[in-house]
Structure 1
């Protein structure tokens, strides 16, 4: 194994008490530290020291705005552990902000960012993260008790170390019970209830029915207040793609991830091409938002809360705040999920649920002011105890045993159902602090959602799948494959916009063929081979034959 540069020196003996030379605090001063390696693995080590300490924690999402220390849950956790948190978020573009931080070579104590981008991999590659396994061996055996071994193995790097831990990660062995018993997929096709029902609940599974419904909605309901109706909305277009088109739509079409044991290029699938041409036609007919390529998430959310969209290819969890507000005004004007775009056989969608990769990952920086307290706090957060404290808060204050179940007291539950933002700010419970939440744990305390949200989560049940084995196959960094992948992916994002803007199907085909030629001429075959190797490695990691 490689030794972490400027990091922790390896242990030289397994003794009950050993003397270690470490780089302290910011790892620039040598100190001698005694560590009790005889501590039982079952003991929660965070209890050893509950003196006040504040960690800087960077969240790589500009939309996260809930502070620490101003609500019931965060005050309780600080009172219990001694740990306070100073959350930091990017002011502008997340990717650019992270690059700037990496260039400076200094990061806050904790860092949370997407499990699906290269950001966390670049942090590890740059030597700016501490290995969690080494920190645990040195300071906190309890980490190995509360951490899921499959998650650790999934994120183990080529040097043998684990540098990050995921949230909302579902081990593959839980898959058999996943469809009904675990959190349903976030991926939905949504329509505004009142308009959809007035139109006679049209079948929108075929391109013809889809376009007809959008046109009728536009013609019969041209205005929402003083603004025009937007027949179809999607997630924002970013530098890394469009979630609605790149992921949700292919899953609605049940486009396979592999064929005959080989990874499949879903972008070339005839069913997806058929529906991309449908979206092109929608744009030609004026059924897409005029500024769809430039709308920010904040602008989209503003349109949702106004009820300006008739239909949306969107994640249901991303409209919960707006849905509650709409319900409070008029329960008939909320968004409901319905059968949306389907393949030619009208097969049920195969929607993505939680996977082993999770949604985000959290790392401890090598600049961390106190690595010992950091790993112990992280162990607490990923444990059942930590999840319970963050989800429910303090017994008697925010929750109690009611009808034999640990759940929010009525006043807390009522605010959650009425105003999610006010709930976050006052109580900070539920999934307010989601950074290291565990799907399996929080299901124990989840209460029935209010009607406005319950309707969103019921529809994906039975259509949700664990696609872990296909995760983390894209090359990154400065390898030849990564450079090719970056170029081809950038080309695809440019092409996608041009496809939707094409004046007819003939121009669409020409643009798409040019993309395929570009990919082939720029060595995309090497990327395909790389991804296949990673796919085979994933199968071994997960014990899939």
Structure 2
């Protein structure tokens, strides 16, 4: 019996170890099978032919690489490797919004669409939303990429603002910054807090090198007459750079009617609100008229060449690169890369330039959650919705944002806190070739202010020179700052009032008229042309448009708790 019992025990032990061995072998085989499956899937994903998508933009001066590269040392190559997509880019040099409108009608719609619609000038955002051919991003993400970070960390305050504007979350915005986003990405220093509060690109900047050569003090340019005197001194001095005459005053090319005029009008005290708190178009303000008079004087005195009014952004930047420009008044963002390329750390700003009328300079800043600048839509006609939303998720993720700065260890390094330090190699980057820093539609201002230390370098976007120039106006104790959030007009609002066509016609009319006014023979003709322009614009329906905008401004002013009142008039 003892022998039998021992035999049974031995059999049991053998059986247990046999079963354990079988289970271990089975687990090993299963693990090997799973790993083989994953490796196969990974290999298939990496070796699969990338999907080509069409990307259209109406932002004519956006200049990413137009030929998609598979080079792993470019951002395009990295994007393709990590998302399986590449792009055929379509960025018309002009009339992009018109061409996109025709695409909506024809049904030949790009997979990805990025637009900028300042002041609802073209109403293209409203057209895209109302076409019914754009994906609601909530629906698209939940259906094709339910684990996307965008469902968890896209800032709620910006999302609400987008939904309020469009009736749904259709657009992914660029250059986003908000209270909710700053909770996720706190600014790394007071420098970025101040920049968020005061920075604005439309301003005046002067060439400190030429300023010194001409023996002019920066402070003397802080009045209208002082600036005109300085421009005359520059013109009469016959200063030359590389054998070419210095340009006394450069406006923002063909954008002057928007950026240059808006900035001068603001510094000369013009607002969209009168002394009774009623909305009125900017052309009715005395600051706007005085801005026209200043530009007319500058043309007639030879400080501005009329050919500047038709220059494109590349030509404006080229003029800055040449070192020949004494003063530039317009969107300074159109000169940033020129600064990097030509090592020009000498730009300064005398802003505000005080009007000879005595009006207080006014600075309107959007302090409510911003809907950003460039707006990216995904078309329902795309044949690759899963690919395109995973690309969108990647581009907006921490991984994608870090990758957008280059290759770690080559273009940048990270310190122990994850802060980015651009290397010398990274500073030489040509975004038009490598794609690094080129994809503006995914610029995340709060993220950038979180992962970069306050700069110590003068040059580059966000550098000390850039910040000093673009915050000078708002930082001045002479400038009156107000929150202009209530002035936002929702896309499609004017169309809903039956005034869309009139608004487009009036905008085109005014744009043409101010060119005539600026190049008029004298101030007497300026006065006559200006009065005729205002009278004609009013008869075309501008007063009715102002009534509609006044109603929405007052509604939003009440909802936001932001009182609106004219400061000078």
TM-score (norm 2): 0.75
Contact 1:233-1:312 at 8 Å conserved across structures = yes
What count of residue pairs does the alignment treat as equivalent? 483
Q: In 2 relative to 1, CA 346–172 (structure 1 residues): closer, same or farther, beyond 3 Å?
A: farther
Who is 1:360 aligned against?
374
Kindly provide the CA deviation profile for residues 335-390 of structure 1, in whole angstroms up to 9, marking residues without a partner as x: 33232522455756526579713121000012112223323332333334432332
Aligned equivalents of 1:172 and 1:253: distance in 2?
Answer: 31
More displaced stretch, 280-289 vs 528-537: 528-537
Q: State whether residues 342 and 349 of structure 1, in contact with CA within 8 Å, keep that contact through their aligned partners in structure 2.
A: no
Residues 140 and 534 of structure 1, relative CA distance in 2, 3 Å threshold: farther
1:62-101 matched pairs, under 5 angstroms? 62-63=60-61, 64-66=63-65, 67-69=67-69, 70=71, 71-90=73-92, 92-101=94-103
Hey, what's the Cα distance between the residues in 1 that align with 2:153 and 2:282? Answer: 37
Change (3 A) 1:263 1:174: farther
CA distance in 2, matches of 1:414, 1:480: 51
Is the CA contact (8 Å cut-off) linking 2:126 and 2:166 kept in structure 1?
no
Distance 1:92 1:539 in 2: 36
2 CA distance for matches of 1:478 and 1:517? 25
Q: Counterparts in 2 of 1:78-477, with a 5 A limit? A: 78-90=80-92, 92-116=94-118, 117-141=122-146, 142=148, 143-156=150-163, 160-171=167-178, 180-182=194-196, 184-197=199-212, 198-202=214-218, 203-237=220-254, 242-259=257-274, 260-327=276-343, 331=344, 334-343=346-355, 344-345=357-358, 347=360, 350=363, 352=365, 356-390=370-404, 392-402=405-415, 404-408=417-421, 410-416=423-429, 421=430, 425-426=433-434, 428-429=435-436, 431-447=437-453, 448=455, 450-453=457-460, 454-461=464-471, 463=474, 467-473=484-490, 475=493, 477=495
Query: Quick check: which has more Rg, 1 or 2?
Result: 2
Alpha-carbon distance, 1:215 to partner: 0.8
Structure 1 contact 179–461 (Cα < 8 Å) conserved: no
Q: 1:542 to 1:72 in 2, by over 3 A?
A: farther
The 10-residue stretch of structure 1 (204-213 or 530-539) with the greater mean CA deviation from structure 2: 530-539
Q: 2:499 aligns with which of 481, 501, 515?
A: 481
SS in 2 for 1:57: strand
For 2:26, the equivalent position in structure 1 comes to none
1:266, distance to aligned residue in structure 2 (A): 2.6
Native 8 Å contact 2:58 2:95 kept in 1: no
Where do 1:523-542 residues align within 5 Å?
Answer: 523-536=541-554, 538-539=556-557
Contact 1:187 1:351 in 2 (8 A): no
Report if the CA contact (8 A) 1:323-1:335 is conserved.
no
Q: 1:384 and 1:414, CA in 2 relative to 1: closer, same or farther beyond 3 A?
A: closer
**1: distance between equivalents of 2:418 and 2:139?**
38
| SS of residue matched to 1:443 | helix
Root-mean-square deviation (CA, aligned residues, Å) is 3.3
Structure 1 or 2: more strand by fraction:
1
Distance 1:293 1:398 in 2: 38
**How far did 1:532 drift?**
2.3
Using the TM superposition, give the Cα deviation of residue 500 of structure 1 relative to its aligned residue in structure 2, in angstroms: 0.8
Q: Deviations over 1:179-225 (max 9, x none)?
A: 60538222221112122123322522323212111111011135433
Residues 300 and 461 (structure 1), Cα distance of their counterparts in 2 relative to 1, 3 Å cut: closer
Structure 1: how far apart are the matches of 2:529 and 2:84?
58
> Please, which moves more after superposition, 349-358 or 80-89?
349-358
Offset, 1:148 = 2.3
Partners of 1:523 and 1:93 lie apart in 2 by: 25
Tell me, which stretches of 5 or more residues in structure 2 are unaligned? 1-44, 476-480, 564-569
Is residue 55 from structure 1 mapped to residue 62 from structure 2 by the alignment? no
Mapped contact 1:191–1:310 kept (Cα < 8 A): yes
Instruction: Tell me if the contact between 1:58 and 1:112 (Cα under 8 Å) persists in the aligned partners.
Output: yes
Judge which range, 527-536 or 344-353, deviates more: 344-353
Kept after mapping to 2: 8 A contact 1:255/1:266 = yes
SS of aligned partner of 1:450: coil
Change (3 A) 1:158 1:221: closer
Query: Structure 1 residues 371, 488: CA separation in 2 closer, same or farther (over 3 Å shift)?
Result: same
SS in 1 for 2:308: coil
SS of 2:307's partner is: coil
- The Cα of 1:542 is off from its aligned counterpart by 5.4
Identify the range of structure 1 (313-322 vs 401-410) with the bigger mean alpha-carbon deviation.
401-410
| Residue equivalent to 1:21 | none
Q: Does 1:494 align with 2:512?
A: yes
Supply the distance in 2 between the matched residues of 1:188 and 1:433 (Cα, whole angstroms).
25
